[in-house]
Amino acid sequence: MQVNETLSEGLKHEFQISIPAAEIDAKVNERLAGMKDKVRLNGFRPGKVPVAHLKKVYGKSVAAETLEETIRETNQKIFTDRGFRLANEAKVTMPTDQAEIEGILDGKKDLTYSVAIEVVPPIMLADFKTFKVEKLVADVTDAEVDDAIKRIADQNRPYSPKGEGAKAENGDRVTLAFKGTIDGEAFEGGSGENIPLVLGSNSFIPGFEDQLTGIGVGETRVVKVPFPKNYGAAHLAGKDAEFETTATLIEAPQDATIDDEFAKTLGVESLDKLKEAMRERLTQEYAGATRQKLKRELLDRLDETHKFDPPESLVNDEFDLMWKSIHAEMESAGKTFADEDTTEDEAKTEYRKIADRRVRLGLVLSEIGDKNKITVTDDEVSRAVIERARQMPGREKEVWDYYRSNPGAVAQLRAPIFEDKVVDFILELAEVSEKKVSREELFKEEDDKAAA
């Protein structure tokens, strides 16, 4: 066997490999000999079929299998001997001339093929004991608990009918009957009776609620609105519609009394118990925000201390996924790059930087995990599946069956578990200082485009 490296540019390598016909033929004969005791052919006793006859009957199919196995083993040896860690699947280029292919399968011609690969560069890991990160924490105050309960009360506040002759105002609940048409024709889903709508809630398509301000009980108005271009029903998206709308009831919101009785309407025995439950929920919410901030800071430190050129193919794949998602989101929202105060070229440059960061951090996290034998157990994945199932009451079996029969979905569950375990490993070595902050500072929004 001869191996010649024909390309070595950065992380890209190509090889031309030549395997003698005699070597391949010997492997084919060996496989055929192993078939003697298994094959049953008319006219031959079990185990007595000559290899030459087997070769006539099965030669080409066995040769094809042998070639596939030989190429796989040869490539693996080339990569292992050179210490290569492949970034993606090797690209093998085989002969295309039919006569040459027949000669190789018949054992009369040497096999010559090429293989192109891109490798992961060696990664020198930083000393994580030198990392200094700040952990932002916020205490849940009594006022924040009260505010959260008030928001719930506002969402569940009662309404009472307004007096005779009253007109609907923003915040009022109007009960409607309407019939919708497009070009004079009624359409499916365009009519309704006894439909409650809180003006200002933006529950209906844009522009609908605005035209009902000042309507009175028994009054009918023709509301003219266009369906959004990204409307879920494709046959309605972007079309102009008219709704003959009548108000049958107008109610004004009332202040909700926050007491034990209110708590009981939420399934809690008392206001004190409701406050306890709300404090616990907010505490978990704050802890989640603390974790995300800390993780972001740690990833930023990993980014700063691990600068190298990642495999171009991986960056391209990551960028393509992001770019397709961005285009889909913008199309759905009916936005352009100009709306985002940028151009397509500028956006591509920015998102390619993000793709580069994501790939580098993914490789660094993987290297840390490999070097420190950090793994994700089947039990951890099972717990994650169970948690997903709990989030979909009544569909637990459907969720479980989906993950059981979909390895790709399981891998998507495994990845964040692995990432979190690596992050925890680094945090155990790093110097972590704690800083008390307000809720506002903890939840202050930051540019999340670079999130890994």
In degrees, to the nearest 5, what angle opens at C-alpha 438 toward C-alphas 433 and 441? 80
Q: State how beta strands 2-9 and 159-161 pair.
A: unpaired
Write the DSSP string, 243-288: EEEEEEEEEEE-PPP-SHHHHHHTT-S-HHHHHHHHHHHHHHHHHH
The C-alpha atoms of residue 337 and residue 324 are separated, in whole angstroms, by 14
Give the 3-state DSSP-derived string for 317-386, with helices as H, strands as E and coil as C. Answer: HHHHHHHHHHHHHHHHHCCCCHHHCCCHHHHHHHHHHHHHHHHHHHHHHHHHHHHCCCCCCHHHHHHHHH
User: Which token pair is 271?
Assistant: 């206001």
pLDDT tens for the chain, 452 residues: list them.
899 999 999 999 999 999 999 998 888 888 777 766 666 555 565 655 666 666 776 667 888 889 999 999 999 999 999 999 999 999 999 999 999 998 988 888 999 999 999 999 999 999 999 999 999 999 999 999 999 999 999 888 889 999 889 999 999 999 999 999 999 999 988 999 999 999 998 889 999 999 999 999 999 999 999 998 778 787 888 899 999 999 999 999 998 889 999 999 999 999 999 999 999 999 999 999 999 999 999 999 999 999 999 999 999 999 999 999 998 888 877 788 888 889 999 999 999 999 999 999 999 999 999 999 999 999 999 999 999 888 888 888 898 889 989 988 889 899 999 999 999 999 999 999 999 999 999 998 754 444 44
Per-domain residue ranges for the chain? 2-118, 158-253, 263-442
Q: Name residue 189's amino acid.
A: G
Class of the domain covering 158-253: alpha beta
Domain 2-118 in CATH: superfamily?
Trigger factor ribosome-binding domain (3.30.70.1050)
The C-alpha atoms of residue 299 and residue 49 are separated, in whole angstroms, by 65
Q: What is the pLDDT of residue 49?
A: 60
Q: What is the pLDDT of residue 335?
A: 81
Q: What is the pLDDT of residue 175?
A: 96
Domain 263-442 fold: Trigger factor, domain 2 (1.10.3120)
Helices then strands, counting H and E runs in the chain, come out as 12, 11
Q: Name residue 337's amino acid.
A: F
DSSP at 185: E
Q: What is the pLDDT of residue 61?
A: 84
